[in-house]
C-alpha cells in the first residue's frame, strides 16, 4: 500500500466501505480459504445426507420428531460448524498475518488506523459466515427436504450470539499468535473439539451426562443446542443463550487486553 494511497484514504463510513471492499478482494484471492469458509459446511451437510446410509430415513421412537429424517437433526449442527469454520480458522489466520507482515505497524503511522482494518475484516468474515449459512440451509432445503426453523427468531438470536462469542475467541487467537501458521494451528486445535461438543459426530442428547454438561457450556455446544431447540419447536433455550452471552461479554474485553498490534 503506497503512502499516497493511505494519506488520501477517506474517513468515516466511506473509509470503512473502502476498507471492506479491499478486505473482500483479499479474501477472494485465497481459493482454499474461500472454499473452507463458504462451501465446506454445505459440502459436509450434503455429503452426510446423500452418502451415509440411513441418514435420510425417518426418525423413529421420538413422537416430537415425527416426520423428520435423521439428517435433518444435523441442520443446526452444520450451521454451528459454519460459525466455527470462519471464527477459528479464517479470522485468526488473517489477523495474525497482518501483524506478522507488519501491516498493522505500518498503518499506525497513517490516517487509516489499524482498528479500521481489523473492523473491516471482521465485517467481511461476518458476511462470509452469513453466505455460508445461507448456502448450507438452501442446499439442505432443496436436496434433503430440511425443514425451515419453527422459531426463526430463536435460531437467529442463537446464531448472532454464537457468532459474537466465537469471533471473540478468534480475535484472542489472532491477537496473541505471532504468526499466521501458529494462529491456524491453535484454531484447528480448538476447531475439532468444538465440533465434537457441537454434536457433529455424536448428538449431544446421546452423550454421557458429563460430556453433555461440558458441551452445553462451550460456545459451539450451546449454539448447537439453542438452534436445535428453535429449529424444531422446543422451549426457548434461555440457559444456552445465557452461556453464549457470557462468552461474548467476557471474550471481547479479553481480546482487547491481549491483542498485540505489532
Identify the three-state secondary structure at position 5: helix
To the nearest 10 degrees (0 to 180), the angle between helices 238-258 and 209-216 is 60
Q: What is the pLDDT of residues 145-186, one digit of tens each?
A: 999 999 999 999 999 999 999 999 999 999 899 899 999 999
Confidence check: pLDDT of 5 > 50 = no
What pLDDT is recorded for position 110? Answer: 65
Q: What is the pLDDT of residues 34-66, one digit of tens each?
A: 898 999 999 999 999 999 998 999 888 777 777
Give the pLDDT mean for 221-242. 94
Q: Which long-range contacts (CB under 8 A, 24 or more apart) does 131-136 make?
A: 131/38, 132/37, 132/38, 132/39, 132/40, 132/41, 132/42, 132/82, 132/85, 132/86, 133/41, 133/79, 133/82, 133/159, 135/38, 135/39, 135/41, 135/42, 136/41, 136/42, 136/45, 136/78, 136/79, 136/82
User: Rounded to 5 degrees, what angle do the CA atoms 41, 85, 206 make?
Assistant: 70
pTM: 0.87
Average pLDDT, the chain: 87
Confidence check: pLDDT of 262 > 70 = yes
Can you tell me which residue has the cell 420428531? 65
Residue 224 — very low, low, confident or very high, per pLDDT cuts 50/70/90?
Answer: very high
C-alpha cell at 183: 494462529
C-alpha cell at 59: 426418525
What is the percent of the chain with per-residue pLDDT over 90, rounded to a whole number?
61
Judge whether 104 and 262 are in contact, CB under 8 Å. Answer: yes
Mean pLDDT lowest among 117-121, 129-133, 234-238: 117-121
Amino acid at each position: 500500500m503506497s503512502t499516497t494511497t493511505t494519506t488520501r484514504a477517506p474517513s468515516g463510513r466511506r473509509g470503512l466501505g473502502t476498507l471492506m471492499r479491499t478486505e473482500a478482494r483479499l479474501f477472494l484471492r485465497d481459493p482454499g480459504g474461500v472454499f473452507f469458509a463458504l462451501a465446506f459446511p454445505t459440502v459436509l451437510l450434503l455429503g452426510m445426507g446423500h452418502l451415509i446410509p440411513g441418514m435420510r430415513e425417518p426418525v423413529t421412537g421420538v413422537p416430537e420428531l415425527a416426520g423428520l429424517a435423521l439428517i435433518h437433526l444435523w441442520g443446526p449442527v452444520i450451521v454451528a460448524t459454519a460459525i466455527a469454520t470462519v471464527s477459528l480458522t479464517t479470522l485468526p489466520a488473517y489477523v495474525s498475518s497482518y501483524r506478522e507482515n507488519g501491516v498493522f505497524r505500518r498503518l499506525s503511522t497513517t490516517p487509516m488506523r489499524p482498528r479500521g482494518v481489523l473492523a473491516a475484516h471482521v465485517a467481511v468474515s461476518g458476511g462470509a459466515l452469513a453466505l455460508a449459512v445461507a448456502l448450507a440451509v438452501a442446499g439442505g432445503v432443496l436436496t434433503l427436504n430440511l425443514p425451515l426453523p419453527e422459531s426463526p427468531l430463536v435460531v437467529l438470536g442463537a446464531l448472532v450470539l454464537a457468532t459474537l462469542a466465537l469471533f471473540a475467541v478468534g480475535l484472542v487467537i489472532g491477537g496473541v499468535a505471532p504468526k499466521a501458521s501458529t494462529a491456524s494451528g491453535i484454531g484447528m486445535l480448538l476447531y475439532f473439539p468444538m465440533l465434537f461438543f457441537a454434536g457433529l459426530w455424536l448428538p449431544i442428547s446421546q452423550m454421557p451426562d458429563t460430556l453433555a454438561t461440558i458441551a452445553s457450556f462451550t460456545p459451539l455446544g450451546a449454539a448447537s443446542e439453542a438452534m436445535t431447540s428453535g429449529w424444531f419447536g422446543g422451549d426457548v433455550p434461555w440457559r444456552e443463550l445465557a452461556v453464549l452471552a457470557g462468552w461474548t461479554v467476557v471474550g471481547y474485553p479479553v481480546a482487547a487486553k491481549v491483542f498485540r498490534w505489532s
